[in-house]
Structures are given as C-alpha cells and as structure tokens.
Structure 1
Amino acid sequence: MFDVAVIGGGPGGYVAAIRAAQLGGKVLLVEREQLGGVCLNWGCIPTKTLLKSAEKWQELKHCSEYGLTAENISFDFAAIQNRKEQVVGQMRSGIEQLLKSNGVEVVRGTAKLTGAQSLSVKAQDGTVESYAAKAIILATGSRPVKLPLPGGEIPMVIDSTALLDLAEVPRSLAVIGAGAVGVEFACLFRSLGAEVVLIEMLPNILANVDDDLIKRMGVVLRKAGVKTLTGTKVKEICEEGGRAALSLESAKGTSEVIADIVLVAVGRRPLLENLGLETLGVECSPGGIVVNERMATNIPTLYAIGDVTGKQMLAHAASAAALVAAENALGGDKTMDFSAVPACVFTTPEIASVGLTEQAAKEQGLAIKTSRFNFAGNGKAVSMGETDGLVKIVTDPAGKVLGMHIMGAHASDLIMEGALAIRNGLSAADVAATIHPHPTLSETVMEAAHGIDGPIIHQLKLTR
C-alpha cells in the first residue's frame, strides 16, 4: 500500500507527490497525458515562450529608438514554435527527473476512485491495475469551457491548446473572451502581424483587474491595433469561403466580424467526470470539489487541490495547496491561505494584482486609501523605454495594505512586494521605509507606498 496516491501530474499534482515523498511517504503519481499538466504543456510555459519571441520581434522593429540599426529583419514562425517545444520538453524532462530522484512511482493511465483508499488505473492498451493508498490527493485540473454556440463546431473555431499548435500566424484572429488568456493571445498574435478582434460579453476586459489598470490596458490595446468590442455577444458563427463569420449583438445593434481563426477563451471548468466521486459521495459544488482550509474533502482520506476545486485557478495556487495537502495526507495539520495569491497577465506591458481592488473594497463597504505612481517617473523605466504603466496600492485607513495592482514592465516580479505585505499584515509605511535599490523598477512600489501617508518625491505636485 502507498502512503499517498496523487491523481494528476500538473503543477498541483507533481508538487504534492514530491513533497509527500520528501516527507518520507511512499508515493504513487498517476498521469494520463503529460507530466506538468496544462500549465507546462498547453498553457503558462508555451504561451510565455511564444510571448518572449513576440517581444523580441517588437524590440527588433523598434531598435532605432535605442540608437541601433537592423536591416532585412523577419521572423520564422516554425522556428518560434520549435523553440517553444524545446522549452516545454526541457521542463517536462526536469519534472520527470525530480519525481525519479525523490522516489515517486509514476504510472501512466486514467485513474478512477474505487474506494476511500483505493483506485484503478486504465492504461492506453486497456489494461487495468488496482492500487491502494492511505490517502489520495485529487489534482485532475480543468479544461476549456465550450460555448454552446451555433457554428461553434466548425474547424476554424478552436481553443487555446489548438491555437498553440498553429503552423502559421493567421491573417486574422477573433478572440471570444477578454480575460487573461484572451488578452494575452490577442497581444501575442497582433505582435506577430495578425489582425485581431477581441470580443467580450461583459462591460470591460479583464473583469477581475482594478479599473485604473483596465483603462490603461484599453489604451495600450488600441495603440497596438487590437479592436476591442465589449458588451458584445456572439450569437452565431458560420463558415464562409473557408473563413469564420461571427454574428454579433450589442447595445449598438447587430454586426459581423470575419476571421480566419476564432479562439474561444471564456474560461475553464474543473475536470470531475469519471473520477468515481458520486459513488463515494464526495461533496461537489457547481464550481468544483468542496474542500476545507486543509484541502480535505468530506471524505477523511481524500484531498483535492488546484483547478479541480475551482479555487484560484492558477498554477502557483495549485502548487501552494499541494504543499498543504501533502503534509496533511501524512498526518500534518497545515492550512491554506488564499488571501494573498498574485494573479498575472502577461501582456506588454504586464499586469499583476494581489489582494483587493479598489472597486472590490468599496463593494464590501470598506473605508480605504489609495495611492498611484506612474512608471514614467521612474529612472529605470525611462532608461528601458518602458514608461507605460503604474503601481496602485489600496490600504485601510491605518495604512495596512489590502491590495496592490501593477501595470508595467516586470509587473509579475514586482507584485511579490504586495503579496508579502498582505500575507504578513504590513503597512504601506513598512514598504515605503524599506530602502529600495536604485535605479530599479522596484522603486515604483516604494513611491506608491509613500503616497498613502504623504507626498511622493518623484511626482509633480498639482497646484490649483
């Protein structure tokens, strides 16, 4: 019998397996597709690899702004895709080695619970093996939501996984859904020359992002040539001459968009099917498997982490929950804190947020203070030519940090100051009093922090 069995080898599952093994457990990991899950194989890593190529391409096109000259520049999309595959392969191999070095037994196949401490695994050849474990961690992840649209089944309508495998950049791309995934892909393919239309049913793009950042990103998208249609529903998609015709409806009336490829990026839903949850009576909600702060289900020996729980569907949240579940599966008593989970959008410039937005705080009836500092006032940002962006801090009346929101170069790295502040109950004064190195982008955070309780040094004083 194994001490712990983990179903799913994504950023939640493989981390749980490794931690359980490090704690001395005999561990089984079951994966039906590729180790690393969606994040490594069809999500975070391949998209960021492609975005890096697109970023380099844009730098080449604008190198004259830095006193450089380049002639006859071009890009090879096949080579870009090949690099993406190399990066994914390298990282997947690294995970395999990590699991092996920690003594985790990896079994390929589709797992199903047969009891509170047992499971079966069906291999690709149809053979079925049974296993027993004292505790089982469910980390089966999620899959893209499919819209029940007339015409949604035509070949030109694809999800993000298929988009990542395109052999060439489409002449035109329509993106349905302006969340993080939709906006990232819109920016990526626009950078590589595609005509892009971004369609969102809600009034704004990036629904969970602070309003100030949404407004700035809207301007960035317009400047980049991305056409954004908010408050717009897709009613039907038809195939016309090998292209997709989207019938749209908004407050302005009906309209049509023609595109070579249509990306459906309207979210993801937990993978719950065929796991045997109903037979065991595992409690589930419409959002996923119900867990407590220990990541335990209503069945004492079963735990669930990551997207399958519907909580903070982010790779790093899954990995953090994995550490909690692994320790508890082996008799520990750890709890998961979701109050300071950063979220990042890898556009150009990047967007990163943690904690409460200003609008969320007001909706909760909280008294707050806010401060903003623009990247244009930062020496490092000016020297980099990356002045488009801002840092915004939200605090309670005493100055305790409730939220931090950043748009700008390396926002995904800078946001950790906000995460640390919220996690440890720090005030903006604590952040401001911490000496930040110069010249660095981190000074933007310090300047914004100063603005909560007093004036900001590198910001013009407005006069009436």
Structure 2
Amino acid sequence: MRIVVVGGGPGGYVAAIRAAQLGAEVTLVEKKYIGGTCLNVGCIPTKVLLHTAELYTTLQREAEDLGIKIEKIDIDWKKLQLRKKEVINQLVGGVNMLLKSNKIEVIMGEGYFLNTNKIEVRQVEGKKVTVDFDYAIIATGSKPFIVPIPGADLEGVITSDEALSLDKIPKSLLVIGGGVIGSEFASVYSSIGTKVTMIEALPNIVATMDQDVTAYLVEVLKNSGVDIYTDTKVESIEKIKTGLKVNTVSKEGNKSFEVEKVLLSVGRKPVTENMGLEKIGVKLNRGKIITNKRFQTNTSNIYAIGDCRGEIMLAHVASAEGVVAVEGIMGKASKIDFRTIPYAVYTKPELAAVGMTEKQAKEQGYEVKTGRFPLYANGKSLIMGETDGTVKYVVDAKTEEILGLHMAGPRATELIVEGALALRLEATIEEIITTIHAHPTVGESLHEAAHAVHNTAIHLPK
C-alpha cells in the first residue's frame, strides 16, 4: 500500500507514522517546515512565550510574598526568542527522527495533484518530483484569516505568526479578535509590559466557552491593564506619525486608538488552494474540504484531515483524525468521539473545557444540574498564589451523567483530561465523587465540584 501525506503538521506527520506502523509505504510532502504551524509558529512557540510571561508576572508581583528577594527583574527579549527557537528546533528534530525511524520518505515542496494516483512536488529550487500513490491524505492545515478592513495591509499590522518574533516588545498593541489566539497574545504582552487593548465584535471574549469560566480571565486581564471592548467593530486602520490609528464603532459610538502594533486575530482559514483539487474532483465548500466521518472525500482514495476541513481547528484533533483516516485505509476501522475533545486556552488563568456548556445542554433539552468549586478554597492553588479560578460540572439532572466540565485556574489544561475521560466512559457525577483524589492538589477541586452538584462540598461553607 502506497500512501502519500500532504502536509507535515500534527495531523500529517502523525498520519504518516501510523500508516508506516501498519505496514504502508509512506511519502510525506511538506511545503515549508516539518511540524507545521503548531510546532513552528503556533502552539509550541506561543506557549514558550506564555511560560516566561507567567514566571515574570509571578516574580514581579508576588516574589516578596513568596519569600523571594529580587533586586531587579526584567525580560531579555532576545534571549527569550533564542529559547523559543531552541525549543522549536528540538521538537522538530524529534519529529524528523521519528519519521526517519519509521522509514518515511520526506520530500520538501508544494504538492499538486496531477490525477487521483499521482502528485507532483514542486520544490523551492525549481525541481519537480512526481510520486505515485494508492491513497492520499491531505493535511495542509490553515493560515491566519486576514479580515478585509481598510488599512489591514499597513506596516505594523501583524498576524500571530509575526507576533511571535517581533524585534522588540511593543509599547502598545491592539488585538482585533478576542478568541483563543487573541486572548493568549493579550495575556503574553500585557504581562511583559505592553499596553494591550482588545476589540471583540461579539458580546464576550472566548465566546465559545462557558461564561462562568471566562469571567475569571476577563477579570485578570483587566487587572493586568488590558482594556477590553466587546460588541465593538473595527472600521479602519490608518498610518500616523506615532504608529497606527484604529477606528472602531459600537453602540456607545465611535472611538479611536493610537497604538504601535495591531494584531489581526479573527480566526484561521483552510489552506486548499493551488493543489489541483479541482482536477481530481475533490469537493470543497468555501475552501473547506468536504469529507465523511472517516475523513474520506468524494474522491474515494483521497482523504483530508485537520484544519483543511475547516471544522475543529485544533492540533490534537488533527492528530486523532489522521489516525482514524489511516486505520480506515488500512482496514482497521476506528472513529472519533467528538464529545470528548478538550479545549484549552493557555492564558493566566488557564481555561479548559470538554463537553457541553450549561447553556448548550439546556438548549438541547436537558434538565441540568451544576456543581461549582472556587479555587480560593483549594489549598494547592493558595500555595501557588493562583486562586483566580473555578471548576464547574454540567450534569444531566435525571441520570446524573456528566455532560461537561469547565475550568479556570492553574493546570486547567492538564486536568481537563479527567473530564474528557469521564465523558468518554459516560461517567456519572457519583463516580467522580467516589474516586479518591490526591491531596494537596489542584485536582482536588474537581472532586469538590462534583460534591457541589449535590450541595455536599466538604470545603465550602454550608
């Protein structure tokens, strides 16, 4: 079996490795860099900056309370950029080693389908290599969506790619878009001294998550000096002597902001152009590749996974889809339980969620019970000095099956896996209550919140 994978990101390289494990002859085609957006200009480098920003904020604001004496603390931006590159290089090197150890042929270049069994790889130096295949898996990912705002092409208007590698820390930054990416960059730059303004067209930032959880992020961002304007739209961007002027409109009226940099962070769009997909008959919907539940396109031997499908644009989802697609091709049927996909926002406090929000559950006709536990009552959170947060369960009142878990606070993005497993096993809240959680841990708060569904939380006043 000859399988070609187009795209070397977390969807593509995982699919390639799984295919090799199952005995396929695999060729991986990558246009720019192994590891894709996630490893090179997305998940990993963003978290490097967030980690340093978190440590810096803790030491700057809380060192004395923690018993640490520091004369002066500052950010060495060049050193941080170097560390970011070192982390990326180590992880990308690791992926290359995995590909090599699985005997996967890697061809750098841009893939273009000549027909349903042949792809041409157009390399940077002008060379063209053709690869014959039995099956192809498209994993070309996504790129920042450039919103059509007058002035969006001005110098100083950047995307998340450029925001990771600025020459210096900007004095001021306006973030257009209050989603996950926008919130993470607002958290980074506000922590290291940049005056940050966020503009969001919707009524709330990180609007897809439970608002009882995101309220903690809003409070912390505002306390860090971030100005947040919701229900507000950007009308234009102008070049001025001091930088950029951003003109906005809301029900309160027009308002302008003068800033050094503007970050466009209003989402991402699939990368599907200039690949010859129309030549092989693959159907698209507004640039998104259409597939069935096994990630097979209408062209039977062509599959698509990850962001290029335009559905759930998360690295871990792309990886899972890659495994399912390959196993389907190799006759080992598997599927994804999309209910159990965890969502994570790496701000301070971290946000994490899995399953339905309270609002979604009610909209789907469930009679809902909830249980909440604030982290100011959790010993480990108090020790860490991170008590801004909560744990919230959403439960079916009739069966007590867990429908969703939502968290804000330290290590939320690590702890959410307990909720994902609970949903996967269709666990009831009683099964969380009767599972002993270690002390002292932030994880105890999941136990207490489960008790709170029955109004029996031990460490909350009656």
- Native 8 Å contact 1:289 1:297 kept in 2: yes
Counterpart mapping for 1:188-337 below 5 A: 188-286=188-286, 288-337=288-337
The reply to whether residue 52 of structure 1 matches residue 51 of structure 2 is yes
Counterpart mapping for 1:344-363 below 5 A: 344-363=344-363
Residue of structure 1 equivalent to 2:6: 7
Residue of structure 1 equivalent to 2:157: 157
Most deviating of 405-414 and 298-307: 298-307
Aligned partner letter, 1:145: F
**Whole-Å Cα distance in 1 between the matches of residues 166 and 429 of structure 2?**
46
- The CA deviation string for residues 240-264 of structure 1, in whole angstroms up to 9 with x for no partner, is 0040100110000001011100000
1:288 Cα offset (Å):
1.4
The reply to whether residue 415 of structure 1 matches residue 408 of structure 2 is no
Aligned partner letter, 1:443: E
Q: Aligned pairs, how many?
A: 460
Residue of structure 1 equivalent to 2:460: 459
Counterpart mapping for 1:372-391 below 5 A: 372-391=372-391
Residue of structure 2 equivalent to 1:16: 15
Aligned partner letter, 2:78: A
SS across alignment from 2:133: strand
**Whole-Å Cα distance in 1 between the matches of residues 273 and 73 of structure 2?**
49
Aligned partner letter, 1:250: S
TM-score by length of 2: 0.98
Aligned partner letter, 2:191: S
Q: Which runs of 5+ in 1 are unaligned?
A: none
SS across alignment from 2:453: helix
- Native 8 Å contact 2:11 2:305 kept in 1: yes
1:320 Cα offset (Å):
0.8
1:219 Cα offset (Å):
1.2
Aligned partner letter, 2:382: V
SS across alignment from 2:10: coil
1:113 Cα offset (Å):
1.5
- The CA deviation string for residues 268-288 of structure 1, in whole angstroms up to 9 with x for no partner, is 011110121212221222371
Aligned partner letter, 2:220: V
**Whole-Å Cα distance in 1 between the matches of residues 219 and 159 of structure 2?**
26
**Whole-Å Cα distance in 1 between the matches of residues 86 and 351 of structure 2?**
27
1:330 Cα offset (Å):
1.9
- Native 8 Å contact 1:21 1:104 kept in 2: yes
Q: Which runs of 5+ in 2 are unaligned?
A: none
1:120 Cα offset (Å):
0.8
- Native 8 Å contact 1:295 1:336 kept in 2: no
- The CA deviation string for residues 92-118 of structure 1, in whole angstroms up to 9 with x for no partner, is 111000000010000000001122222
**Whole-Å Cα distance in 2 between the matches of residues 361 and 88 of structure 1?**
39
**Whole-Å Cα distance in 1 between the matches of residues 207 and 439 of structure 2?**
34
Aligned partner letter, 1:240: I
- Native 8 Å contact 1:399 1:452 kept in 2: no
- The CA deviation string for residues 117-149 of structure 1, in whole angstroms up to 9 with x for no partner, is 221110111221111111100000001000111
- Native 8 Å contact 1:399 1:453 kept in 2: no
Most deviating of 188-197 and 421-430: 421-430
What is the aligned-residue RMSD (CA, Å)? Answer: 1.1
- Native 8 Å contact 2:305 2:318 kept in 1: yes
Residue of structure 1 equivalent to 2:432: 431
- Native 8 Å contact 2:214 2:408 kept in 1: no
After the TM superposition, which parts of structure 1 deviate over 6 Å for at least 4 consecutive aligned residues? none
1:296 Cα offset (Å):
1.2
1:207 Cα offset (Å):
1.0
**Whole-Å Cα distance in 1 between the matches of residues 198 and 455 of structure 2?**
40
**Whole-Å Cα distance in 1 between the matches of residues 332 and 297 of structure 2?**
15
SS across alignment from 1:415: helix
SS across alignment from 1:277: coil
- The CA deviation string for residues 170-224 of structure 1, in whole angstroms up to 9 with x for no partner, is 0000000000000000010010100000000111100101010122222111111
**Whole-Å Cα distance in 2 between the matches of residues 285 and 444 of structure 1?**
43
SS across alignment from 2:340: coil
Aligned partner letter, 2:162: A
- Native 8 Å contact 1:110 1:121 kept in 2: yes
The reply to whether residue 444 of structure 1 matches residue 445 of structure 2 is yes
**Whole-Å Cα distance in 1 between the matches of residues 334 and 250 of structure 2?**
48
- Native 8 Å contact 1:293 1:337 kept in 2: no
**Whole-Å Cα distance in 1 between the matches of residues 110 and 293 of structure 2?**
28
Residue of structure 2 equivalent to 1:131: 131
Residue of structure 1 equivalent to 2:401: 400
Most deviating of 66-75 and 235-244: 66-75
SS across alignment from 1:303: strand
- Native 8 Å contact 1:289 1:308 kept in 2: yes
1:454 Cα offset (Å):
4.0
1:421 Cα offset (Å):
0.6
Aligned partner letter, 2:58: E
SS across alignment from 2:361: helix
Most deviating of 42-51 and 53-62: 53-62
- Native 8 Å contact 1:355 1:404 kept in 2: yes
Aligned partner letter, 2:342: P
SS across alignment from 1:85: helix
**Whole-Å Cα distance in 2 between the matches of residues 112 and 335 of structure 1?**
29
The reply to whether residue 367 of structure 1 matches residue 367 of structure 2 is yes
- Native 8 Å contact 1:179 1:207 kept in 2: yes
1:368 Cα offset (Å):
1.3
The reply to whether residue 98 of structure 1 matches residue 98 of structure 2 is yes
**Whole-Å Cα distance in 1 between the matches of residues 371 and 72 of structure 2?**
45
Aligned partner letter, 2:407: I
- Native 8 Å contact 2:217 2:348 kept in 1: no
SS across alignment from 1:280: coil
**Whole-Å Cα distance in 1 between the matches of residues 90 and 134 of structure 2?**
33
